[in-house]
Chain A
Amino acid sequence: MVPLNWYLILSAFIFSCGLYAALGRRNAIAVLMGIELMLNASNINLVAFWRNGVAPMENVDGQVFALFVIAVAAAEVAVGLALVISIYRNRRTVNLDELDILKG
């Protein structure tokens, strides 16, 4: 069996990549991709802890949570991309540092 630590290190790497994309990229779609990476990293952790937990045949809560996260991520990305398209139609840009009309 694959050691638990390997899963955790992989998911920490993917989470850090997603964090960098969410904080350091200008394009709103790139930021959304970073958020998707972070959600995937959390899912890897849920599944890895389920597999290495006590009695994985009976306690499948980790998998249930992972499936919930997948479904919520699908809803989130649909709304996020709709917002991006709507902003692009109105402002002709999706660069987040140019979207500052709420700044006083």
Chain B
Amino acid sequence: MPELPALPSILELVFLAVALLTAVGALVVVLSPNLFHSALGLAATFFGVAAVYITAEAEFVGVSQVLVYVGAISTLIAFAIMLTRGMMYGTTSQRNRQSGTAAMIAALMFVVLTALMNAIPWPKAGEPITDGEAIIARLGSMFVNEYVVPFVLLALLLLVALAGAIVLARDRK
């Protein structure tokens, strides 16, 4: 089979492009002085992460990511920024006093995590996936069998959290 070795390299190239988009989006979120640019970078990052899931052949998680993160959470954050618009164009800095230390800690975290990941000999696995639809069927059956209690609790949590959010954000006058 001569064409098989070419396929992974295309997937790897796609992954590298997507990872670059995701990393640049994350940097924009963190470094942009304008909060709205941060929100746009966050939407780009969410899209990139969804594409990363697709490269890992987790299509259902990718679609959920687009629906929940890109569709709902990005919009919610954009609305919150506009509702607190007085803070958007402030003359003060976006960083607090400990931002230098925070940057050092974050850089150290990245270095340590990367070193740790390269040091640990992960087992060579990664079997090929033959039937993507069977995985989604398996996911559905797991949600109503093994994980039915967390699933129902999660539904309750979402209901309580969203009702609480409405109560908190409501104008009481």
Complex Cα distance, B29 from A1, in Å, reads 29
- The SS class assigned to the A binding surface is helix
Chain A residues with CB below 8 A from B86, complex form: 88, 92
In contact, B106 and A1 (Cβ under 8 angstroms) = no
Q: In which size bucket is the chain B interface?
A: 35 or more
A52-77: CB near B (< 8 Å → 1, else 0) gives 11111110110110111011111111
In contact, B68 and A26 (Cβ under 8 angstroms) = no
B145-160: CB near A (< 8 Å → 1, else 0) gives 0010010001001100
Chain B residues with CB below 8 A from A58, complex form: 138
8 Å CB contacts to A: which residues of B31-47? Answer: 35, 38-39, 42, 45-46
Complex Cα distance, B157 from A71, in Å, reads 9
In contact, A16 and B61 (Cβ under 8 angstroms) = no
In contact, A5 and B118 (Cβ under 8 angstroms) = yes
Chain A residues with CB below 8 A from B65, complex form: 43, 70
Complex Cα distance, B65 from A70, in Å, reads 7
Chain B residues with CB below 8 A from A5, complex form: 117-118, 122
Q: How far is the CB of A38 from chain B (nearest CB, A)?
A: 10
Q: How far is the CB of A27 from chain B (nearest CB, A)?
A: 6
Also in contact, A96 and B114, with CB within 8 A (given A66-B58, A70-B64, A83-B168): no
